[in-house]
Structure 1
């Protein structure tokens, strides 16, 4: 059975993932007078470029194409591919958004707003909705209805769901919520960096954003592929978040504020 403390951890993760973006929006609206359009475009770019376009490419590379599927079975190649695609699709998506969709939104506050929309919807989907899904699955497992609900799945896939649920703890839920906060700060920093690249017509900064994004995701993916300690990943993410926050604070000079 999944313990009640683990389920409580998922509830906390869900609340953090959904409420923090809302809180940050209210704060930015009051302090910086941000517009809602960059927030909306940031969320749309994440959905369009990550969930749809990147998702379609991943389906082809990892499953449909036998050659690439075989290559990416190796954990390090899979990690490199996954992290690089995340960096390319998200940062190119930002670049396209600021270049074509947000032509009159080139102030620092617009970078903040875009990053909030991009990172906020990511937090809600990955942290919030995933936590809700896990809570439902945990209840099904605890009541003996998981097999009935997913009887069409192969036995190994069903066992994988069970194992992931039984590995949950209260701490893992808290860490999942903390990870979403760290990711949100990073997304805001990267959005400001790409906005600066567009504003100054320096594509090299977009390449820098792709590199940094890929590097961070590479370390995160190592937890899933080779079992790198979750604590190591969390510490790394918070170091990245602190550096991102410092960059956000100092980015005023990039926009002559």
Structure 2
């Protein structure tokens, strides 16, 4: 059985990752009615969707299916983290910059914030929201024995059901706090996404495109690389030098610091937005 606390944690993260961004987006657009924030919000979301979901993710999926991929990762984990972090940063800075250039005739702070919210919000809904909807459905199936019937039918048909069994064991064995971390992470990452988008827009507005692109690229790269690298320290890839709990503490503390810095930057840059 998946515990009640786990289900509550899954529902909480589901709300945080899906409804919260939508509610915040509605509030921001209503509050800034007449400032063309809706178009910026939608283009911000579209930019992420095209660059990450339509282009980058399928490419990475194809590469991961090639012969020798797992051997490459296990032998070159740090390089693997570098590649993932750089490509994520590159594709997403292209998305941010592209939206800023499309809307260059009206680069207001309100629109930059909306674009960042759209970028981070759609990522949250697609990556975390969809995953947690699946987790919730599977949890109810497990608790009503429907899942076991599917496993039994699968085995009867001569199909290996080990993957299904592994999913069940993982959902039952996962600590509720781990499910909650997904929601906490989304709050932090959406904040960071807004900060990075505001940064790019600010420099585009002041005709310093290259500087904005480079700063955003490096900042995004650093955030993604640290997460992947520290996580690797708690696995066989990098020798299990720290525990999984320690890796979580380091990663989320780091994200929290960057999120706070993003908020401080957003507040400061808003005051300077129209200054030359």
What TM-score, normalized by structure 1, do the two folds share?
Answer: 0.88
Q: Which residue is 2:225 aligned to?
A: 218
Q: Which residue is 1:48 aligned to?
A: 50
Shift of 1:195: 0.9
Q: Which residue is 1:125 aligned to?
A: 126
Q: Which residue is 2:22 aligned to?
A: 22
Sort the Cα spacing of 1:239 and 1:176 in 2 relative to 1 into closer, same or farther, 3 A.
same
Q: Does 1:78 align with 2:84?
A: no
Q: What is the rounded CA distance, in whole Å, between the counterparts of 1:235 and 1:80 in structure 2?
A: 21
Pairs within 5 Å for 1:134-153: 134-142=135-143, 143=145, 144-145=148-149, 147=151
Q: Which residue is 1:108 aligned to?
A: 109
Matched residue count? 255
Q: What is the rounded CA distance, in whole Å, between the counterparts of 1:90 and 1:48 in structure 2?
A: 10
Q: Secondary structure at the match of 1:72?
A: helix
Q: What is the rounded CA distance, in whole Å, between the counterparts of 1:79 and 1:157 in structure 2?
A: 26
Shift of 1:156: 5.9
Q: Which residue is 2:8 aligned to?
A: 8
Q: For CA contacts below 8 A with separation 6 or more, give which structure has more relative contact order.
A: 1
Shift of 1:79: 1.8
Q: Does 1:196 align with 2:202?
A: yes
Q: Deviations over 1:164-204 (max 9, x none)?
A: 32342322222211111111110100001111232223312
What TM-score, normalized by structure 2, do the two folds share?
Answer: 0.82
8 A contact 2:154–2:161 mirrored in 1: no
Q: Which residue is 2:167 aligned to?
A: 161
User: Structure 2: any 5+ residue segments left out of the alignment?
Assistant: 235-243
8 A contact 2:47–2:98 mirrored in 1: no
Q: Which residue is 1:97 aligned to?
A: 99
Pairs within 5 Å for 1:205-244: 205-222=212-229, 224-227=231-234, 229-244=247-262
Sort the Cα spacing of 1:135 and 1:148 in 2 relative to 1 into closer, same or farther, 3 A.
farther
User: Structure 1: any 5+ residue segments left out of the alignment?
Assistant: none
Q: What is the rounded CA distance, in whole Å, between the counterparts of 1:37 and 1:255 in structure 2?
A: 20
Sort the Cα spacing of 1:165 and 1:197 in 2 relative to 1 into closer, same or farther, 3 A.
same
Q: What is the rounded CA distance, in whole Å, between the counterparts of 1:21 and 1:164 in structure 2?
A: 28
Q: What is the rounded CA distance, in whole Å, between the counterparts of 2:185 and 2:153 in structure 1?
A: 30
8 A contact 1:72–1:81 mirrored in 2: no
